[in-house]
Chain A
Amino acid sequence: MTSTTSNIETTVASRHAPLSAEALAREEAAARKRIRGRQTLVISLRILFLVVVLGGWEIGARRGWIDPFFYSQPSAIVDQLVVWFRDGTSQGPLWEQVWITLEETLLGFVIGAVGGVVCGIILGRNKLLADVFSIYIKVANSIPRVVLGSIFVIALGLGMASKVALAVVMVFFVVFGNAFQGVREADRYMIANAKILGASPRQVTTAVVIPSAMSWILASLHVSFGFALVGAVVGEFLGAKQGIGLLISAAQGSFNASGVFAAMIVLAVVALAVDFILTTMETRLLKWRPQQF
């Protein structure tokens, strides 16, 4: 009798062996190892890709397949960056150029974004204003706004104002469009709910409309920071006394391809740093949203 019971127990135990605690732990460890292995693979492949591209460029330039006079080469770009960092540029220290361009970008970005959000919310909440102005905004949006840079340089001079103005114009329409759309998309049941719960029209705007437009607005800030940077740099191209745009156009004027690439790298680093800050801000502000897959 006892032997039969224990027999049954052992068969049950052996049938359930793959589900026992140590078996599960073993599987988990194996799975974790696989995940780590994949991450390592992805990172190594990324590095390999970079090495192949930059190495190919460098070798191509040295062998004479690519003319380094026109297309430069990685080592020359690095040399140029080192020179700029160590000795400064022809217009003064590198950090000063970076700071000036960044200042123009940030000023233009903030003014354009605030203006865009405010106008977007006002027009989004007012049907008549929206119907009247939407046509003009569409027209203004379809004009290549970079052209306005020339006007701004003529009107506002070679100083900072003309670059800020161009950056503002670049940013404003993107943010405005998104804020407007976000306000329009605010759920009408949610608005009705807030009204019945006792919200005044102002409370409806602050407690329902703005929060629901927030994800649209934040998404547009990402894109429009890049536009602000383009506005500032193009403004400097068109005429400036300082800044990275001027650095690029000076390098262009002296057929210094390495200089153009080096300035591009500096710009990329600035843009990535700001993008990181914006992403952090976004995750903090939108923590109520479900995780996106």
Chain B
Amino acid sequence: MAIELDNVSIRFISPDGKATVALRDFSMQVRHGEFVAVVGPTGCGKSTTLGLITGLIKPTLGEVRVMGNEVKDTDPRIGFVFQNDAVFPWRSVIENVAAGPLFRGMARKEALDLAQTWLGRVGLDKFGNHYPHQLSGGMRKRVALAQTFINKPEILLMDEPFSALDMQTRVLMQDELLNLWSEQSGSVVFVTHDLEEAIALADRVFVLTARPATLKRIYDIDLPRPRKMEEVRYQPQFIELSRQIWSDLREEVHIG
């Protein structure tokens, strides 16, 4: 197993001393090379599951294991793509992409060469010397993808990475992500509130309940790969799945 969450519960204490339970007895297993999507009502604690896997959040009860070892610190084999822009605005695009290797002690020349090849892969080879504010939202997301993929993560965590993009750009980015992922063969945990995005991308969809979140149901998505975003959503199987998952989710949204 690439990732195992074993009966994890999380209790947050806010700065003014109030306790809230974000996750309750939550278990989840992600296999090597598997693409998993996590959906649930807003604010239920979806992102918290990712925080647990990175080690930035510690579980109150239960255990989190990555590659069989208990998570203690940020694991170098993990990559993370954030919902908001987390690229560094004071670094040029190529220096942003090279950030990971540079932090990890690669020589500057080598890191920049590597970054250049990654810029080519996400179609930004002519924008290396631009600053992030000069790019469109979709291009900045590509920078973020290249910045993460350059570290060759065996586990990729994504927290609603495309939710701020417009519809067309989002579909393009989803295709891009599937391409990059199929070349790398890592495991992906993709958190989203967009049901169709989850079904279109994932091998399995985890549906969470309202807060305090726990696992409601797991759906196997046996749509054939490679998938094309603009085609997959019109298949009858896709429509049937989204109807089922939506009825599951609707109950939770009502409760919330």
Please report A residues at the B interface, Cβ cutoff 8 Å. Answer: 187, 189-190, 192-200, 203, 207-208, 211-212, 214, 287-290
User: Contact at B78–A196, with CB atoms within 8 Å?
Assistant: yes
Contact status B90-A214, CB under 8 Å: yes
* Residues on the B chain within 8 Å of A197, using CB: 99-100, 103, 147-148, 151
Give every chain A residue within 8 A of B74 (Cβ-Cβ): 195-196, 198
Nearest CB in chain B to that of A287: its residue: B131
* B151: min CB distance to chain A, Å: 7
With an 8 Å Cβ cutoff, the count of chain B residues facing the other chain is 25
Q: How far is the CB of B150 from chain A (nearest CB, A)?
A: 9
Contact A193–B90 (Cβ < 8 Å) = no
- Complex Cα–Cα for A9 and B148 (A): 56
Q: B89 and A288: CB pair below 8 A?
A: yes
B133 x A288 contact (CB < 8 A):
yes
Chain B residues, CB < 8 A from A195 = 56, 74
A-B contact pairs, 24 of them (CB 8 A): A187-B84, A189-B82, A189-B86, A192-B86, A193-B86, A193-B87, A194-B103, A195-B74, A196-B74, A196-B80, A197-B147, A197-B148, A198-B74, A198-B103, A198-B104, A198-B151, A200-B103, A211-B88, A211-B90, A212-B90, A214-B90, A288-B89, A289-B89, A289-B90
* B90 and A288 within 8 A (CB): yes
Shortest CB–CB separation between residue B88 and chain A, in angstroms? 6
**Does the CB pair A288–B91 fall under 8 Å?**
yes
Q: Which of B54, B79, B90 has the most CB of A within 10 A?
A: B90
Hey, which chain B residues are within 8 Å of A189, CB to CB?
A: 82, 84, 86
Contact digits for B24-56, partner A, Cβ 8 Å, 1 yes 0 no = 000000000000000000000000000000101
CB-based contact A288/B84 at 8 Å = no
Q: 8 Å CB contacts to A: which residues of B64-120?
A: 74, 76, 78-80, 82, 84, 86-92, 99-100, 103-104
Given contacts A194-B88, A197-B147, 13 further A-B contacts (CB under 8 A): A192-B82, A193-B87, A196-B80, A197-B151, A198-B74, A198-B100, A198-B151, A199-B99, A203-B103, A207-B88, A288-B89, A288-B90, A288-B92
- Measured in the bound complex, the distance between the Cα atoms of B99 and A289 in whole Å is 19
**Complex: A290 Cα to B90 Cα, angstroms:** 10
Residue of A190, A211, A214 with highest tally of chain B CB at under 10 A: A190
Nearest chain B residue, comparing its CB with the CB of A200: B103
**Identity of the chain B residue whose Cβ is nearest the Cβ of A189 in the assembled complex:** B86
Secondary structure call for the B interface: loop
Question: Is B100 a contact of A208 with CB atoms below 8 Å?
Answer: no
Q: Which residue of B lies closest to A208 (CB)?
A: B88
Q: How far is the CB of B128 from chain A (nearest CB, A)?
A: 14
Q: Chain A at the B interface: mostly helix, strand, loop or mixed?
A: helix
- In the assembly, what is the distance between CA of A198 and CA of B151, in Å? 9
- Which residues does chain A contribute within 8 Å of B76, judged by CB atoms? 198
CA distance in complex: A197, B78 (Å): 8
How many angstroms from the CA of A236 to the CA of B84 in the assembled complex?
52
In the bound complex, how far is the Cα of B151 from the Cα of A288, in angstroms? Answer: 25
Q: Which residues of B contact A198 (CB under 8 A)?
A: 74, 76, 100, 103-104, 151
Chain A residues in 8 Å Cβ range of B87: 193
**Which A-chain residue is minimally distant from B147 (CB atoms)?**
A197
Are B133 and A289 interface neighbours, CB within 8 A?
yes
Considering only CB atoms, which chain A residue lies closest to B86 in the complex? Answer: A193
Complex: A189 Cα to B148 Cα, angstroms: 14
Instruction: Say how far B50's CB is from chain A's closest CB, in angstroms.
Output: 10
Q: Which residues of A have CB within 8 Å of B151? A: 197-198
Instruction: Kindly list the 7 A-B residue pairs having the minimum CB-CB distance in the complex, ordered from nearest.
Output: A193-B86, A197-B100, A198-B103, A198-B104, A290-B133, A199-B103, A288-B90
Residue of A nearest to B83 (CB): A189
Task: Determine whether the beta carbon of A196 is less than 8 Å from that of B88.
Answer: no
B204 to chain A, nearest CB (A): 24
Contact B131 A288 (CB under 8 A): yes
Contact status A187-B86, CB under 8 Å: yes
Residue among B78, B86, B100, B148 making CB contact with A190, cutoff 8 Å: B86
**Cβ of A290: which chain B residues have Cβ within 8 Å of it?**
133
* Interface contact A192-B100, CB-CB below 8 Å: no
Cβ of A212: which chain B residues have Cβ within 8 Å of it? 90
B82 nearest CB neighbor, chain A only: A189
Residues of B contacting A208 with CB < 8 Å? 88
Residues of A within 8 A of B54 (CB): 192, 196
> In the assembled complex, which residues on chain B have CB atoms less than 8 Å from the CB atom of A196?
54, 74, 78-80
Q: How far is the CB of A75 from chain B (nearest CB, A)?
A: 51
CB distance B82 to A194 under 8 Å? no
Chain B residue at minimum C-beta to C-beta distance from A197: B100
In the complex, chain A residues whose CB is within 8 Å of the CB of B82: 189, 192-193
Q: Kindly name the residue among B78, B80, B88, B100 whose own CB sees the greatest number of chain A CB atoms within 10 A.
A: B88
B79, closest chain A residue (CB): A196
Residues of A within 8 A of B90 (CB): 211-212, 214, 288-289
CA distance A289 to B213 in the complex (A): 40
Which residues of A are found within 8 Å of B99, using beta-carbon distances? 194, 197, 199, 207
Chain A residue contacts of B103, Cβ below 8 A = 194, 197-200, 203, 207
Q: Which of B80, B104, B131 contacts A192 (CB 8 A)?
A: B80
